[in-house]
């Protein structure tokens, strides 16, 4: 299974392995593949958002990264090690989606649980998270509300003082105040200790504010894995007024891999967009709006504007067949210009 030269997942000497690195990763659940042939990496110190539809393998990916389960195929390396092994287990914390906690413990006992189970326990951080969320220390965990449970579970995760913090839907059941407190705590730990944060979320607008790296999963494929800045720079939203000809379908959304490569009939996409990688295009009346990946030159009747991250992610979510945009899994040889223009998800299988 090991794709790197190092034996038993040992990091190659001299280099700093990334926080997460997947090669040909596949996860199969009981009812089918949650994830297939995933290649991505999350650099150290990043705050990465993991986005995707419900039930599309986000939780499975985090469970694999925390060592709770083994990948079905391919490899995932956390800080250069196999997840769940003794060198990396104390350095990775996971906030699970259902926040399992011992219901009979009090909050104070839960914090003691963290202290006894983690040699590098940071009691001050954990207590400040609990105090900041206004959770009484003497309350039984079983009697807490959902949001309070989340805060206690987050205190356990942060108190572990991890190098990689994996959060599964951390903001789902928090009120706005606690949400801000939690984001502040995450930003603090990221800034002070360089902790890598990977969080799955549905709230795209909030990711825009905090994340500097984005991972997008849909239908078992990793569609986007790159810096937020690069992702934003790499996409253009083109608004095109269809003149004369009939719209291909009023209100219809459609996507094409690459208009030119597939010999797209002129009826569905305007000529100006041929030759570009269209993530998603939709028409509203006589307006055609298209999200274009890595535009080379845009000359035509279209009005181009930089999209927000939310718009880009929505475009990919609407069209899971879009060509993926993935940061290279290997160290880039010559800077950002060496980024491949071809969809990497397809040649990954033939590589292995």
Partner 1 sequence: MSALARYVAWPPREERPALLPFPLPQVAGPAWAAWRRHRAAYRTVIALALVCGLWALWEHHQLLAGVHHYADACRKVRQSCDPSGDQSGGAHQPAPPRVPVVVHTLFDMAPSVLRFLPLVVGALLGGPLFGQELEAGTHRLAWVQSVGRREWVAVKLAVATGVTAFGAVVLTAPVSWWWYASWRGHGRPGLDGYAWRAVTWWNDWDFFAYTGPVGVAHLLLALMIGAVTGLLVRRTLPAVAVSAGLCEAVLFGLGRLRSHLLTPYVLRHGYGQLAPSQPRDAWYLGGGYVRADGSLTTKDPCAGPGVKDIMTCLRQHHVVGQYDSDFRMSQFVPLQLIETAICLSAAAALAAFCLWYVPRVTAR
Q: Tell me which of 98, 123, 305, 349 binds partner 1, using CB under 8 A.
A: 98
Query: Using an 8 Å Cβ cutoff, are 151 and 133 in contact?
Result: yes
CA dihedral 218, 221, 224, 226 (to 10 degrees): 130
Entry field: residues in the chain? 352
Query: Using an 8 Å Cβ cutoff, are 274 and 256 in contact?
Result: no
- Residue 257: CB minimum distance to partner 1, A: 33
Q: Tell me which of 1, 12, 53, 102 binds partner 1, using CB under 8 A.
A: 102
- Residue 93: CB minimum distance to partner 1, A: 7
Is residue 113 within the footprint of partner 1 (CB under 8 A)? yes
- Strands across the sheet with 277-284, in order? 253-254, 277-284, 287-293, 235-241, 303-305
Contact code string over 58-97 relative to partner 1, x by CB under 8 A: -xx--x--xxxxx-------------x-x--xx-xxx-x-
Q: From 55-63, 192-200, 284-292, 301-309, give the range in contact with partner 1 by CB under 8 A.
A: 55-63
Which of 160, 235 has the CB closer to partner 1? 160
Q: How many residues make contact with partner 1 (CB under 8 A)?
A: 34
Is residue 273 within the footprint of partner 1 (CB under 8 A)? no
Give the Å distances, CA to CA, from 191 to 194, 197, 230, 249, 352: 6, 11, 21, 49, 37
Is residue 114 within the footprint of partner 1 (CB under 8 A)? yes
Q: Give the Cα separation of 281 and 173 in Å (integer).
A: 34
Q: Site residues for partner 1, window 125-184 (CB under 8 A)?
A: 156, 160
The DSSP element (H or E) to which 228 belongs, if any, is helix 228-233
Q: Tell me which of 73, 109, 208, 212 binds partner 1, using CB under 8 A.
A: 109
Q: Give the Cα separation of 191 and 202 in Å (integer).
A: 24
Q: Which residue has the tokens 């199969």?
A: 28
Q: Site residues for partner 1, window 310-329 (CB under 8 A)?
A: none
Is residue 275 within the footprint of partner 1 (CB under 8 A)? no
DSSP E strands in 178-220: the ranges are 196-200, 213-218
Residues that bind partner 1 (CB under 8 A): 59-60, 63, 66-70, 84, 86, 89-90, 92-94, 96, 98, 100-105, 109, 112-114, 116-120, 156, 160
């Amino acid at each position: 299974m090991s794709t790197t030269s190092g034996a038993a997942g040992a990091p190659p000497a001299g280099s700093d392995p990334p926080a997460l690195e997947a090669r040909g990763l596949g996860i199969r659940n009981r009812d089918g593949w949650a994830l297939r042939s995933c290649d991505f990496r999350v650099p150290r110190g990043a705050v990465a958002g993991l986005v995707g539809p419900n039930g599309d393998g986000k939780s499975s990916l985090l469970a694999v990264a925390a060592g709770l389960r083994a990948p079905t195929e391919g490899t995932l390396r956390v800080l250069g090690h196999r997840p769940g092994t003794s060198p990396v287990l104390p350095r990775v914390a996971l906030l699970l989606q259902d926040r399992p906690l011992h219901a009979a413990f009090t909050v104070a006992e839960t914090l003691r649980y963290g202290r006894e189970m983690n040699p590098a326990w940071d009691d001050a951080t954990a207590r400040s998270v609990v105090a900041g969320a206004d959770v009484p220390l003497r309350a039984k965990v079983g009697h807490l509300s959902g949001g309070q449970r989340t805060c206690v579970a987050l205190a356990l995760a942060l108190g572990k003082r991890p190098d990689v913090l994996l959060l599964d839907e951390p903001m789902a059941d928090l009120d706005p105040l606690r949400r801000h407190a939690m984001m502040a705590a995450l930003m603090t730990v990221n800034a002070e200790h360089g902790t890598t944060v990977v969080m799955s979320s549905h709230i795209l607008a909030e990711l825009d504010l905090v994340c500097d790296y984005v991972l997008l999963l849909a239908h078992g494929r990793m569609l986007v894995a790159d810096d937020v800045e690069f992702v934003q720079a790499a996409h253009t939203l083109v608004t095109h007024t269809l003149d004369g000809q009939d719209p291909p379908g009023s209100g219809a959304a459609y996507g094409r891999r690459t208009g030119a490569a597939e010999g797209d009939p002129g009826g569905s996409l305007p000529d100006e967009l041929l030759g570009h990688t269209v993530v998603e295009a939709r028409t509203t009346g006589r307006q055609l709006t298209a999200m274009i990946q890595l535009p080379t030159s845009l000359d035509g009747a279209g009005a181009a504007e930089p999209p927000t991250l939310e718009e880009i992610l929505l475009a990919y979510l609407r069209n899971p067949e879009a060509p993926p945009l993935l940061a290279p899994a290997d160290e880039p040889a010559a800077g950002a210009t060496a980024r491949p223009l071809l969809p990497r998800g397809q040649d990954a299988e033939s590589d292995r």
